[in-house]
Structure 1
Amino acid sequence: MSGEALSDDYDLRGLNCPLPVLKTQKRMRAMAAGERLWVRTSDPLAVIDIPNFCRERGHGLIETESVDDGHRFLIERG
């Protein structure tokens, strides 16, 4: 399966901790294992919170990218 082709984009810019992680968690519950999700956030704590969330929940953090208005994370559902 090509995860990149199936990646969805979830824009959480403007939300602060803990909302980006909580909303990402809720969105990923509805996804099948192996599906990927791009998460965009302007929350500066997301660079700590999103990797911890992935590690604790068994999801793969495929890519982390710093962008002008925050960060993007590519997460694969575990």
Structure 2
Amino acid sequence: MNQDNATGPIPFTIDLTFEEARRRAEVVAALGPDWDPVAVLRGEDEAYALLYSGLDAEQQRTYDLLVAAGVLPGEEPGRAAAH
């Protein structure tokens, strides 16, 4: 073996674009034809509203503090906590 050619690691690259497209297609196929993303989001909104409904005054204050601190998401669309 010629030592001049063995100066370092051989570069190895892989393009995951094809694999990511295949993975996404498999996920959508697994969800099935009856999957309705709008209905799912609506259900999540309803569940979120139900989760924080009926709080007593102290629970509401705690909830409001957690929302203000970014620990819990607020009522805005695309709810996600800031932290």
**Fold shared by both chains (TM-score > 0.5):** no
Task: Please identify which structure carries the higher helix content.
Answer: 2
- Give the structure, 1 or 2, with the largest relative contact order (CA under 8 Å, sep 6 or more): 1
Bigger Rg, structure 1 or 2: 2
TM-score norm. by structure 2 comes to 0.29
* TM-score normalised to structure 1 length: 0.30
